[in-house]
Homo-oligomer: A and B are copies of this chain.
Amino acid sequence: MGKRNLYLKNTPLEEALSIYTDAFKSILKMQYEELPVEKSLGRILKEAVYAGCSSPLFNAAAMDGIAVISTDTKGASERTPLTLKKNKDFIVVDTGDPINFPYDAVIMAEDVIEIDDDTVQIIEAATGWQHIRPIGEDIVTGEMLLPSLHKIRPIDIGVLFSGGIIKINVVKRPEIGIFPTGTEIIEPTQTPKDGDIIESNSRMFEAMVTSYGGTAYRFPPIEDDYNKIKTAIEEAVNKFDMVIVNAGSSAGTEDFTVHILRELGEVLIHGVAIKPGKPVILAIVKGKPVIGLPGYPVSAYIDFENFVKPVMSLMTGEPTSDNNVVDAVISKRMISSLKHKEYVRVKVGQVGDKLVASPLARGAGAAMSLVRADGFCVIEQNCEGVEAGEIVKVELYRSLQEIRHTIVAIGSHDLILDLISDLMSSNYPGNYLSSTHIGSMGGLMALKRGEAHIAPTHLLDEATGIYNMPYIKKMFEEPMALIKGVKRIQGLIVQKGNPLNLKDISDLKKCRYVNRQRGAGTRVLFDYKLKQAGIDSLEIPGYDRESATHMAVAALVSSGSADAGMGIFAAAKAMQLDFIEIGQEEYDFAIPVKHLKLPEVITFINILKSDEFHVCLDKFGGYEYSQSGKLCYMDEEII
């Protein structure tokens, strides 16, 4: 089996982080550089900045008008107007003009009566220093303008210049080398061969380094060669302030990184009790932090946040601000091991007055779960998990503002959900659709528990042959409606040219099938069709192999890993596969009547009715939309 590095420990997160940052607190120093003020936006000040001059620089007119000597205006009144001569008794001033001795007051233009070009009259005495901005009213020489470690905003740039400062010392951006490794890793521009993996983590790290105030130097992938990787790290620690090595941090046969780092320096931590993210390596080589991040993108992301970011902040001076943590109701039971702290990606929506968190895919490889997530639900190390309906803490990374303008859809999956979401964000900026796919039945249950606004569903009532409404009538007591969605063609997705010559459902006995997950409407339909045909599910090879979406089924068929799967026409068409029609079904949206007045729901219905939506459906193929957006109420007679 080869040499395996089975010595991963399970250090608790907080302990690992404090061991590692403590090792650097005395040796990692911030470095500084001088910058012109106009180039300093977003940079962190080295030290407090004090004004070099006052603002205003002189006593200045605060109004357009005339400057006068206040004591000379005594006695002016409507009855006894006072006549003043230009450039002797007064001078004309605009706002901002300097007021110098002997003048000590400004009279507004509106209060001055023009007699001729050189003569005016006033009918009220001026009090000393009226309508004059005194020197230093805004900024006084020597006053502290900004404190140490302040992050420069646009307004700060303005006051620095006003206070006579043209250069400032800021914290230098730490320079961080990023080294992807792995023989199977290829650059995104290369064409992948079997077994190749497109390198993407290092580009994500590059962007994270930039976001957190560092400068990233990303290198092309290094093959799994002990000496090549060793040489690269040795050179990098001389050049950079910190080094990130990607992949090679778990315990597989080709995972050299930990051995190399033990040879070159000291490995303080290998293995942390978090999931995803366990196989992280925290090392110190020649006084520099070297971090080995795991290959799975979600693990890598979570370890970056937990370890790279706080070490960077020792060098950047950026505060490691706490995340925005909110209480939310979790929509699904989640079991978690006592052995680790788990980061579950969740979508968060506000339904009525409660925030609801719906867990997304939990695998370390599920990068899209990070893209789709609104935050993390953290299950602590000594917790066995949470029950559906329990209140959990969620670290949000999307604003509550956005979340409040989001329709939460939980239920069956269809390609049109992504399409509607896209049309919402482009045509109605600030309105969002968030969808979680757990099947029709699960969606209706979530709706009933008040965890969603709408539930996409396509459930056939076998008794009546009617879709959806019979289920809603059975399950709900509160007033409900159905927003009609689309009719879509379901069938068997088979390989191009149908090489096995499959004709109907009974032919599936002789091929490798891939099924949808339990609770999916498509699986319900498949079971119904099996029953009609008198076929036992045990007769279908692959009946237990599950896939979560129409597109995932099509991908397995397309790759040759399965021969057939049930799904919608649009998925087969998107993958250029053949399709055997089984029937048309109605894919609609169940909604409590009370949510119909929400502006985002009105937007949603408008999109269903729009020409733009229908044009896209025609492009997808296999959809019929004559009823799209129509409302049916539970209390109405259903025909």
Contacts and interface: CB of A to CB of B under 8 A. Distances in A.
A556 B161 contact: no
Interface string A422-445: 100110011000000000000000
Interface string A104-146: 0000010010100000000000011100011111111111111
A135 B367 contact: no
Interface in A144-190: 144-150, 153-162, 164, 166, 184, 188-189
Given A558-B141, A561-B59, A147 B426 contact: yes
A368 B153 CA distance: 13
A516 to B, nearest CB: 13
A479 interface: no
A215 to B, nearest CB: 13
A317 B368 CA distance: 23
23 contacts: A1-B114, A41-B210, A53-B198, A56-B365, A58-B195, A58-B559, A94-B252, A97-B195, A137-B366, A137-B552, A138-B363, A141-B575, A145-B371, A148-B426, A154-B205, A154-B208, A154-B211, A155-B371, A158-B204, A159-B370, A161-B199, A319-B430, A322-B401
A97 B195 CA distance: 6
A499 interface: no
Please classify the interface of chain A as helix (H, G, I), strand (E, B), loop, or mixed, using the class held by over half of its residues. Answer: loop
A140 B55 CA distance: 61
B96 A184 contact: yes
Contact of A57 (B58, B198, B317): B198
A135 B544 CA distance: 17
A203 B153 CA distance: 11
Contact of A147 (B109, B146, B192, B421): B421
Contacts of A189: 166
A547 interface: yes
A337 interface: no
Contacts of A419: 144
A418 B192 contact: no
B368 A1 contact: no
Contact of A555 (B140, B322, B368, B542): B140
A158 B367 contact: yes
A221 interface: no
A133 B298 CA distance: 15
Nearest to A212: B154
A366 to B, nearest CB: 5
Interface string A536-551: 0000001011010101
A411 interface: no
A560 B59 CA distance: 10
B195 A98 contact: yes
A207 B154 contact: yes
Contacts of A154: 204-208, 211
A559 B59 contact: yes
Given A94-B253, A143-B551, A158-B367, 8 more contacts: A38-B203, A64-B252, A94-B254, A138-B368, A140-B549, A153-B207, A154-B208, A157-B206
Contact of A321 (B140, B203, B399): B399
Copies in the complex: 2
A222 B506 CA distance: 84
Contact of A149 (B133, B399, B429, B549): B429
Contact of A140 (B95, B100, B200, B554): B554
A38 B202 CA distance: 10
Given A59-B559, A112-B1, A144-B418, A158 B254 contact: no
Contact of A559 (B4, B135, B251): B135
Q: Which size class do A's interface residues fall under? A: 35 or more
Closest 8 CB pairs of A and B: A136-B555, A154-B207, A161-B200, A158-B204, A148-B426, A144-B418, A140-B551, A94-B252
A2 B555 contact: no
Given A134-B561, A155-B367, A370-B155, A57 B196 contact: yes
A287 B595 CA distance: 42
Contact of A55 (B149, B162, B166, B198): B198
A593 interface: no
Contacts of A159: 200, 297, 367-368, 370-371
A54 interface: yes
A366 B195 contact: no
A150 B371 CA distance: 11
A213 interface: no
Contact of A157 (B57, B139, B145, B203): B203
A203 B94 contact: no
A551 B147 contact: no
A324 B399 CA distance: 10
Given A95-B252, A549-B140, A166 B147 contact: no
Nearest to A210: B41
Contacts of A319: 429-430
A197 interface: yes
A113 B64 CA distance: 93
Contacts of A192: 53, 57
A57 B363 CA distance: 16
Contacts of A2: 92
A156 B204 CA distance: 8
